[in-house]
Amino acid sequence: MLAFEVTAQCPHSRARTGRLTTAHGSVETPLFMPVGTKGTVRGILPDDLERSGARMLLANTFHLSLRPGHETVERLGGLHGLMGWNGPILTDSGGYQVFSLSHLTTVDEDGATLRSIVDGSPVRLTPERVMEIQRGLGPDVAMAFDHCPPDPHDRDGVGAATDRTHRWLARCVRAWRDNGAAERGQALFGIVQGGAFEDLRRASVESALEHDLPGYAIGGVSVGEDRPAMLAAVEAAAPLLPDSKPRYLMGVGTPLDFLDAIERGIDMFDCVTPTRHGRNHQAFTSEGRVNLRNVAWRDDTARLDDDCNCAACTQFSRGALRHLCKSGEMLGGILVSIHNLTFFQRLLSDIRAAIAAGTLPTLRARCARAQRGVRER
């Protein structure tokens, strides 16, 4: 069963470091999970993920239920066998797809019916079905099925979705216990909803805590709200979550998002940002963001980032990377993705060290200066 211990507390904020122990090893927090939606972090070998500093990955319940199907994944050795990954894995529940594929989705009290993105056939997700799928996938952490509302500022819609999330969580907990996943070492995290409304966020925390789960997540952020609304949601929920349990902010972020959330007590993150930006040839560096398609880098023989030891930075110049990106060679997007993943993991490592040393404000100021510098020339 999953265990969590706090190892250091920042003297300037609610930031803390911790150790999350799972059936597939321990990881240090705050941590960032690269996203392997369909059972792979797109274009990145497991060895390269490990070299980047990644220690825990995320995969997607809905997409894997469509192809190849959770029964097939289970026969292939679970997600660890499918992904060639020996470390911890977390699966989201499909709740985000209820939001992102809302034009293909009908929600009712029992669950949600989506249209398959593979062949258009109806796909029925209920709390019980989602827990059955995740049991077969075999992650270390399974997420409860939640209803992420389409508009975080629509109080009536948010209220109805949040109440439904609470009822679905109770059903997820029963199914998780009944199907034996807990005994097999699979932890269940509940999800806090509530949109942009502090009172609904607080009520959602109270409802989730009734189940005394191994961990809790804050959902329904990064769904179109502005930055202050996202921070307000975290500020409303995070202080009410138990200090002894890991706190996971879903679908966030960027370097400054990490710092904002960590200072409010968040321990875990996932986001497609480093790989999606990498495939679009946008690099995060210690001096700001770099658009590698820009003509300014055509003849540049310098490294992409002097502070980085990834393959992109040690074996290629900016000019060479620009050529790969501009000519449509897949290696360009792969290298920039590897660099971005390495940058994110190095940042999280620096944050953990700064928390332990009591120097997080200094690190934050340095990151803010760098991220204001977009090297587009």
The DSSP string of 295-330 is GGGTT--S-S-TT--SHHHHH--HHHHHHHHHTT-H
Check whether 327 has a pLDDT greater than 60.
Answer: yes
Check whether 377 has a pLDDT greater than 60.
Answer: no
**CA distance readout (Å), 346 to 108, 233, 349:** 43, 27, 5
Check whether 147 has a pLDDT greater than 80.
Answer: yes
Residue 115, SS3 per DSSP: strand
174 lies in the same domain as 59: yes
Check whether 334 has a pLDDT greater than 80.
Answer: yes
Counting the structural domains of the chain, the total is: 2
Q: 354, 334, 306, 369: which is closest to 8 by C-alpha?
A: 354
Count CB-CB contacts under 10 A for residue 47: 9
263 lies in the same domain as 284: no
261 lies in the same domain as 349: no
Q: What pLDDT band is residue 227 in, cutting at 50, 70 and 90? A: confident
Which two structure tokens, joined as six digits, stand for 216? 């809790």
CB–CB of 312/304 below 8 Å?
yes
Residue 92 falls in the annotated catalytic set: yes
User: Do you know the residue count of the chain?
Assistant: 377
Is 10 among the domain residues? no
Provide mean pLDDT across the span 239-268: 96
Check whether 74 has a pLDDT greater than 90.
Answer: yes
- Burial label for 30, CB within 10 Å (0-12, 13-18, 19+), is buried
Is 76 among the domain residues? yes
87 lies in the same domain as 154: yes
Last residue of a domain, one of 270, 286, 302: 270
Which tens digit of pLDDT belongs to each residue from 273-319? Answer: 999 999 999 999 999 999 999 999 999 999 999 999 999 999 999 99
Q: Residue 68 contacts by C-beta under 8 Å, 6 or more apart in sequence?
A: 76
241 lies in the same domain as 352: no
Lowest mean pLDDT among 93-102, 281-290, 330-339: 93-102
| Domain of 104, in residue numbers | 31-270
Start-to-end Cα distance in the chain: 51
Provide mean pLDDT across the span 334-357: 98
Catalytic residue of the set 48, 92, 140, 260: 92
93 lies in the same domain as 155: yes
Catalytic residue of the set 48, 260, 267, 270: 270
Is 79 among the domain residues? yes
Is 145 among the domain residues? yes
CB–CB of 26/140 below 8 Å?
no
Check whether 223 has a pLDDT greater than 80.
Answer: no
Strand 288-291 with 282-285, pairing: antiparallel
Residue 202, SS3 per DSSP: helix
Is 326 among the domain residues? yes
Q: Report the CATH number at residue 60.
A: 3.20.20.105
Mean pLDDT over each residue of the chain, to the nearest integer: 95
Percent over 90 (pLDDT), the chain: 91
CB–CB of 209/167 below 8 Å?
no
Rounded Cα–Cα distance for residues 353 and 8 (Å): 10
Rounded Cα–Cα distance for residues 205 and 192 (Å): 6
Predicted local confidence at residue 373, as pLDDT: 61
Q: What pLDDT band is residue 140 in, cutting at 50, 70 and 90? A: very high
> What predicted TM-score, i.e. pTM, was given to this entire model?
0.96
Q: Which amino acid is at 19?
A: R
264 lies in the same domain as 293: no
Which two structure tokens, joined as six digits, stand for 154? 């629509």
Q: What pLDDT band is residue 376 in, cutting at 50, 70 and 90? A: very low
